[in-house]
Structure 1
């Protein structure tokens, strides 16, 4: 499957390749339904991260193993074909010739077991859901504490899965799941949050402030696997140097290929039993595993039942709890003045009471919450990130398409024309009312005068309101289609300065005609007043009857002439402004510019969503 655009993808798959257990879920990116968790037979949703190789049949030259099938492997120098099996199929394979667990480490070019596990796991899932394989992106988690080189190596190896793959920090994916779970809770914001993801190989920390997540560079070397390793050392020590049949059988079983891995698995099951109180199904393990491992499983279980794991191992001086507490002190120092309001515990290891206890002590100001189904938080979050990524891509596509819709551009175009008409109307009324300071020549003074006489600031304010009233509903229609509430998306239409500049520039081009016409209007409307002043002056000065007659005759001519001149000046001003229009090419440029600016602002909103997805 290949997609040119992320928004074309129909399904998002979340794959949590855990060091102890793995899980997979998927969802339809076009809906809002929760992720479906893949259930693997009787194993349930949590699949033990184990690999085994079991022989099939002697190789038939006419029917060789399919090289494209990652489950078929031919041993060099033999004629046997082996199938790779995973999960309990590996644990309970009685004819298993190789067995391994706990293979999730900082990735080097030769560390391919996790990838092989993923290949088999996905192949099995896709066989049951071929429609998903045809149209999906798989999001895989990685420890937040891994360096870039390890992440790049891991991604390069996972590309062998033959489906599009994205890598996401595990604690960050857990954060997205927690955010989704809290989204409908009143007051359930995520202003300052610390997500603590306690896994088998690592403990990840993600701090969130003002919706921006930050993966902290600690925890990559501390996981619950260390507890399993401590238990394995206790079991080994119990048999070391002991001269007995049980000790001999245990040593022989442990020395077999995969023996140390089987011991780690038994120790992990014993640890989980004491922290969860659930049946470990150890009887099934003893009866189902390869005969070579039976002494190891049986004898280890007997020893581990008598070990108080929480006190003797986890809380032992210098043990896992002490190291976890030291790490929390380091995290607190990294956060500085940013004190979390909420600490969310995820991952299978978060079920240990000591984790909550130490987090509450380290962050006494915060509320500490255990995620529901903590072992599935990462998986669900990975699928949710897939949906969010696709929806962000679709949202951006729709936003980009919005600015090209005819009604969007026509609204902006009509608003610009109306704004120019309002500016002309204001200027006309003020010119006809004999505006002052018409002798401005300096370009800066002239622009300021035009801005004042046109009432440009008020005109642009009205234009902004007009555009917001017309365009924001179009934007909100798109937002609602993606489940974004109206109060979660605000659009502040900021008009580019070029709009005012364009209107001013067009008026300035007419200014000489307008100024001359208004100047003439000013003169002719003042002439009658001047004549009356002269008559009054003549009377006060005692002018002769002849002088008065001449003055009156002259006034008759003067008073008669300005009326035509006034009408001509007024008409010229009206005609000049009436014919004035913005240049069509300039209008198109303004429409494009404003549409791009609005689109960019909406794109910023999309990036707010993406901040959870980086």
Structure 2
């Protein structure tokens, strides 16, 4: 069973790249920095290379290059899943091997962590889902695997370096230049939008172009024989990448069978002008940004965040500035590590949001808040009863007089408004006190998990939610009194007696939400009470006595109390859920 998110003590971020991969991690609690995993051979940016070394098993990174006799050597194996595969894709095998190596060095983390793995932001939803399903294999020993956007994680990392989550009042364009793709993500109003562009434009496009030239210019018997060997084509692409980066010497310790590929390529590279390759890629990159501006980025970005190893190419910043001249351009000082670090920051916030939801849910559903609210509900019910009871027995009641002397019902306030005019201010002050008691508790939970504490709790006006139940409850005794009325005068009409102006009869069932009970007035209650009895002063007094008896007999049932409490709890929880959702949207 996967670890519940609220129980995670560590977050591990795996930037599973087409060219290089990186692991970072950090404890959920505490204030230490995000740490980056360094292999025993010194690799931090682990070469995304995979091979098999009989009989010991898989080898990855530079070990896959340097180990003699390695089989099934491959690089650049991260690709959009074409469909569900029976066998584990190479990127799953590579990720499992790298994570196992990490957990062997940090065994205490394995059972108490959640692993966040990035996906290219430009992939369509169905491809991301397939990618997630394949990577779920990594959780077969009880670990929890989550897959989130690489580009947006880089944005979260950049925002975290400034000490705050992405701002909702700014438009940000994240340009993540990886080996296989260039992902563009626009974040406006806190909502990320991944642009369907750049899925075929990564730094590896330059590698392939250089490799094509090397294959022709370095051709010869030894070179061709090495190229035809197991893993030869993949090794040539790796050589081309290192030539592009200016670090081919890193490969001098390679398997001897590939040495002709390296030597031949280096002889060609000494006379090879790389500018045409870079210029061609720069032109495609410029076209990509221009297409994004014309078709998708309708609001000029305030900020551009450059990330991914390809963002180190010298022309990237100037091209961005030319297409979006008003945007501030930010480079991570270590862009090749920003996604891994961002995955950790992203995951850490998600764990905190899960804990936040758990803690505030416990408060909202807890006995202490329930006891407070129950007392307030009971007090509100009795306050409404007392106020209406006093008015029901006096001839000075303006509503009773208005009804008896024939003023139209349209001129009368609603019963809810009438009740509120009697006790509303008293109950509002009680609500304000509940708010004053609740807000500090919830803000403390926000601060505990590093979430913005700028929230207000809105306990709904107790009068309205309680009066809705009161008005419905009073129907039973009123109906009983109506049924007990007998022998009305023969001349009396079957319905209510005629009065000057239209009158609305007290409805059978109050429909209460946040709207007031409309056209249900105390005078109309009396009308419904006495039915067709001939109206005179004494009968009006009897009606008031009967109404008073009905009000006295009303009790707040457990079902009504629970209905009120549920409504209040929902209202209390809403701004807290909004706060959690706001943070989650910033992490999407």
TM-score of the alignment, normalized to the shorter chain, above 0.5:
yes
Q: CA deviation at 1:88?
A: 0.9
Q: What pairs up with 1:106-185 in 2 under 5 angstroms?
A: 106-108=80-82, 109=85, 112-161=89-138, 162=140, 163-184=143-164
- Post-superposition Cα deviations, 1:426-465, rounded to whole Å, max 9, x if no partner, equal 6678787934231438988777256335525534533432
Select the residue among 214, 218, 234 that pairs with 1:235: 214
Structure 1: unaligned runs, 5 residues or longer: 56-80, 241-246, 274-279, 513-569
* Alpha-carbon distance between aligned partners in 2 of 1:469 and 1:123, rounded to the nearest angstrom: 51
Say if 1:128 and 1:445 are closer, same or farther in 2 by CA, change over 3 A: farther
Contact 2:186–2:297 (Cα < 8 Å) also in 1 = no
- Post-superposition Cα deviations, 1:360-385, rounded to whole Å, max 9, x if no partner, equal 11111211111231111111122222
The structure carrying a bigger helix percent of its residues is: 1
Select the residue among 374, 399, 413 that pairs with 2:360: 399
RMSD over aligned Cα, in angstroms? Answer: 3.4
- After alignment, is 341-350 or 110-119 more displaced? 110-119
**Alignment partner of 1:138: what SS?**
strand
**Alignment partner of 1:265: what SS?**
helix
* Alpha-carbon distance between aligned partners in 2 of 1:114 and 1:587, rounded to the nearest angstrom: 57
* Alpha-carbon distance between aligned partners in 1 of 2:161 and 2:566, rounded to the nearest angstrom: 41
Instruction: Name the residue aligned to 2:276.
Output: 312
- Post-superposition Cα deviations, 1:498-543, rounded to whole Å, max 9, x if no partner, equal 333235556888999xxxxxxxxxxxxxxxxxxxxxxxxxxxxxxx
Q: CA deviation at 1:123?
A: 1.2
* Alpha-carbon distance between aligned partners in 2 of 1:510 and 1:447, rounded to the nearest angstrom: 23
Instruction: Name the residue aligned to 1:259.
Output: 232
* Alpha-carbon distance between aligned partners in 1 of 2:381 and 2:353, rounded to the nearest angstrom: 37
* Alpha-carbon distance between aligned partners in 1 of 2:396 and 2:287, rounded to the nearest angstrom: 81
Does structure 1 residue 448 correspond to structure 2 residue 414? yes
Number of aligned pairs? 514
Contact 1:267–1:304 (Cα < 8 Å) also in 2 = no
Q: CA deviation at 1:154?
A: 2.3
Contact 2:438–2:457 (Cα < 8 Å) also in 1 = no
Q: CA deviation at 1:324?
A: 1.1
Select the residue among 237, 242, 247 that pairs with 1:269: 242
- Post-superposition Cα deviations, 1:70-94, rounded to whole Å, max 9, x if no partner, equal xxxxxxxxxxx35221101112223
Instruction: Name the residue aligned to 1:290.
Output: 255
Say if 1:587 and 1:152 are closer, same or farther in 2 by CA, change over 3 A: closer
Does structure 1 residue 434 correspond to structure 2 residue 396? yes
Q: CA deviation at 1:203?
A: 0.7
* Alpha-carbon distance between aligned partners in 2 of 1:372 and 1:190, rounded to the nearest angstrom: 25
**Alignment partner of 1:14: what SS?**
strand
Q: CA deviation at 1:339?
A: 2.1
Does structure 1 residue 378 correspond to structure 2 residue 339? yes
Select the residue among 206, 217, 220 that pairs with 2:199: 220
Select the residue among 458, 464, 471 that pairs with 2:438: 471
**Alignment partner of 2:12: what SS?**
strand
Contact 1:424–1:454 (Cα < 8 Å) also in 2 = no
Select the residue among 195, 201, 204 that pairs with 2:180: 201
* Alpha-carbon distance between aligned partners in 1 of 2:361 and 2:284, rounded to the nearest angstrom: 51
Does structure 1 residue 606 correspond to structure 2 residue 567? no
Instruction: Name the residue aligned to 1:60.
Output: none
Instruction: Name the residue aligned to 1:353.
Output: 314
- Post-superposition Cα deviations, 1:181-220, rounded to whole Å, max 9, x if no partner, equal 22349x9666211111000000111111111111111111
Contact 1:416–1:463 (Cα < 8 Å) also in 2 = no
Say if 1:438 and 1:128 are closer, same or farther in 2 by CA, change over 3 A: same
Q: CA deviation at 1:19?
A: 0.7
The structure with the largest alpha-carbon Rg is 1
Select the residue among 468, 471, 481 that pairs with 1:501: 468
* Alpha-carbon distance between aligned partners in 2 of 1:427 and 1:12, rounded to the nearest angstrom: 59
Structure 1 length as normaliser, TM-score?
0.75
Instruction: Name the residue aligned to 2:380.
Output: 419
Contact 2:173–2:303 (Cα < 8 Å) also in 1 = yes
Q: CA deviation at 1:479?
A: 1.3
Say if 1:458 and 1:333 are closer, same or farther in 2 by CA, change over 3 A: farther
Contact 2:353–2:449 (Cα < 8 Å) also in 1 = no
Say if 1:97 and 1:403 are closer, same or farther in 2 by CA, change over 3 A: closer
* Alpha-carbon distance between aligned partners in 2 of 1:350 and 1:430, rounded to the nearest angstrom: 77
**Alignment partner of 2:399: what SS?**
coil
Structure 2 length as normaliser, TM-score?
0.79
Q: What pairs up with 1:4-43 in 2 under 5 angstroms?
A: 5-43=4-42
Q: CA deviation at 1:257?
A: 1.8
